[in-house]
Structure 1
Amino acid sequence: MRFKISVALMVIGLLAIALGIAQRTVWAPPERASASYTADATAPVTVIEPEVFGVHEEEVDVSVEADGDFLLAIGRAGDVDAWVGEAAHTSLTGMEDGQLQGTVTEGDAKVPNPAGSDLWVSEEQAEGSLEHRWVAPADGEWSILLASDGSAPAPTNVTVTWPNDTSVPWSLALIILGALLVVLGVAMAVVSRRPNRQTPGNDSPGNDSGPSGGTAKRTVAGPATAPLAETDAAVPAGRADDTAPTRPGMENPEEGSRSSGRRSLMVRPALGLRAAAAAGTAVVLAAGTVLPAQAAASPEAEETAGSPVVQESQLTRIMDSVAASVSAADKARDAGKLEPRVGGAALTVREANYTVRAENGKAAAPVPVAAGPILASMVSTSEGWPRTVVTVTEGEDNPVPQVIVLTQQDPRSNYRMMGAMQMLPGTTFPQVSTETGGTPAVPLEAEEGLLYSPQAAVKMVAENLDSGKHQNKIGKNTFSDQIQKIQKDQVKSNKSADISFRRSVDNKSLSALRTADGGAVVFGHIKSVTRSVPAEAGATVELSPEFAALAGEDSTTEGVDVTYSEAVFLRVPPAGSDEELTVVGVAQGLVDAKLK
Structure 2
Amino acid sequence: MAAFLLAAVMIGAGIAQRTVFEGPSAATETIQTDGDTAYTVIDGAVLTKFAGAQTLTAQGDGAVFLAYGRTSDVQAWLSDTDYNRVTVGDDGAITTSAVEPTPTEAPTPAAGEQAPAEDAAAAPRAPAGSDLWLEEFQEDRQLTTSLQLPDTMSVLLASDGVAPAPSEMTLSWPIEVTTPWAGPLIVLGSLVLLVGIFLYILAIRHSRRSRGPRRKGLPMPVTEPIDLAVESEEKGVITAGAAPTRRSASSRRRAFVALPAIAVSAALFAGCSAGSWPQLEQSPTPTPTETVIVPEGQQAPAVTQEQAGRIVARVAETIATADTSLDADLAATRLSGAALAERRTNYTLRAAIPDRAAPPAIPASPVEIVLPQAFDEWPRSVLTVVEDSTDATVAPTIMLLTQDDPWSTYRATYIANLEASAELPDVAAPYVGASRVPPDSGFLELAPEDLASAYADIIDNGDKSAYWAQFDTQGDQLLAGIQANRQQRIDALNETGTGTATLEFDSVPGTQEPFALATLEGGAIVAVNVNENDTVKPSNPDAVIKLDNNPTVRALTGVEQSATGFTTTFADQMFFYVPDPGSTEQIRLLGYRTSILEAKVIP
TM-score, with length taken from structure 1? 0.71
Cα distance change of structure 1 residues 305 and 542 upon mapping to structure 2, 3 Å threshold = farther
Q: Distance in 1 between matches of 2:13 and 2:355?
A: 92
What SS is found at the alignment partner of 2:395? strand
The residue type paired with residue 392 of structure 1 is V
Structure 1 counterpart of 2:305: 312
In structure 2, C-alpha distance between the alignment counterparts of 1:447 and 1:433, rounded to whole Å: 21
**Partner SS state of residue 529, structure 2:** strand
Amino acid in the other structure paired with 2:486: Q
Q: Does residue 1:145 correspond to 2:125, yes or no?
A: no
Alpha-carbon shift at residue 33 of structure 1 (Å): 2.0
Assess if the C-alpha contact under 8 Å between 1:46 and 1:91 holds in 2. Answer: yes
Structure 1 562/84 Cα, relative in aligned 2: closer, same or farther at 3 Å?
same
| Deviation, structure 1 residue 20 | 10
Determine if contact 1:374/1:394 at 8 Å carries over to the other structure: no
Task: Structure 2 unaligned segments of length 5 or more: list them.
Answer: 1-7, 102-120, 188-277
Cα distance, 1:506–1:68 mapped onto 2, change above 3 Å: same
Matched, 1:530 2:534: yes
- Among 373, 387, 402, the alignment partner of 1:380 is 373
Contact 2:500 2:543 in 1 (8 A): yes
2:401 maps to 406
- Aligned 8 A contact 1:380 1:388 in 2: yes
Match of 1:365 in 2: 358
Question: How far 1:175 sits from its partner (Å)?
Answer: 12
Distance 1:45 1:392 in 2: 35
Name the structure 2 match of 1:420: 415
Write out aligned runs for 1:328-367 (5 A): 328-367=321-360
User: How far did 1:565 drift?
Assistant: 1.4
2:33 counterpart letter in structure 1: A
Alignment of 1:460-539 (within 5 A): 460-468=454-462, 469=465, 470-476=467-473, 477-491=476-490, 493=493, 495-506=499-510, 508-539=512-543
d(CA) in 1 for partners of 2:571 and 2:471?
20
Following TM superposition, by how much is the alpha carbon of 1:266 offset from its aligned partner in structure 2, in angstroms? 6.0
CA offset digits 1:170-222 (Å, max 9, x no partner): 9999999xxxxxxxxxxxxxxxxxxxxxxxxxxxxxxxxxxxxxxxxxxxxxx
CA shift in 2, pair 1:23/1:584, >3 Å: closer
Q: Residues 390-423 of structure 1: CA distance to partner in whole angstroms, max 9, x if unpaired?
A: 2232344562222222222222112222232122
Q: 2:140 aligns with which of 104, 111, 127?
A: 127
The unaligned stretches of length 5 or more in structure 1 are: 1-13, 177-258, 273-296
CA shift, 1:302, in A, is 4.6
Compute the displacement of 1:40 (Å). 1.1
| 1:258-294 Cα deviation digits (max 9, x unpaired) | x99442536677789xxxxxxxxxxxxxxxxxxxxxx
- 1:263 is aligned, of 262, 265, 282, to 282
Equivalent of 1:389, from 377, 383, 391?
383
Percent identity reads: 30
Query: Aligned to 1:394, what secondary structure does the other structure show?
Result: coil
1:160 aligned residue (171, 195, 206): 171
Match of 1:542 in 2: 546
| Secondary structure at the counterpart of residue 429 of structure 1 | coil
2:125 to 95, 101, 112: 112
C-alpha distance in 1 between matches for 2:517 and 2:579: 12
Q: For 1:270 and 1:51, locate their aligned partners in 2 and report how far apart those are by CA, in whole Å.
A: 26
Contact 1:391 1:405 in 2 (8 A): no
Residue 488 (structure 1) shift: 4.2
Task: Name the CA distance, whole Å, in 1 between partners of 2:53 and 2:397.
Answer: 42
* Structure 2 residue 81 is matched with structure 1 residue 87: yes
* Residue pair 1:304, 1:440 contacting (<8 A) in 2 also: no
Post-superposition CA distance 1:68-90 (Å, at most 9, x none): 11210121222212222222111
Structure 2 counterpart of 1:241: none
For 1:87 and 1:144, the matched residues in 2 are separated by 16
RMSD (Å) for aligned C-alpha atoms: 3.7
Where does 1:212-291 land on structure 2 (aligned, <5 Å)? 261-265=280-284
Given that residues 63 and 139 in structure 2 are in contact (C-alpha distance below 8 angstroms), is that contact kept between their aligned partners in structure 1? yes
Q: In the alignment, which residue of structure 1 is the partner of 2:316?
A: 323
Residues 312, 388 of structure 1: CA spacing in aligned structure 2 closer, same or farther, 3 A cutoff?
A: closer
1:428, distance to aligned residue in structure 2 (A): 0.9
Give 4+ residue runs of structure 1 displaced > 6 Å after superposition. 14-27, 168-176, 268-272
* CA distance in 2: counterparts of 1:95 and 1:162, whole angstroms: 19
Q: 1:40 to 1:510 in 2, by over 3 A?
A: same
The structural deviation recorded for 1:563 is: 1.9
Q: 1:462 to 1:140 in 2, by over 3 A?
A: farther
| Counterpart-to-counterpart distance in 2, 1:590 and 1:395 | 27
How many residues align? The count is 480
Query: Quick check: 1:507–1:524 contact (8 Å CA) kept in 2?
Result: no
TM-score by length of 2: 0.71
1:56 is matched with which residue? 50
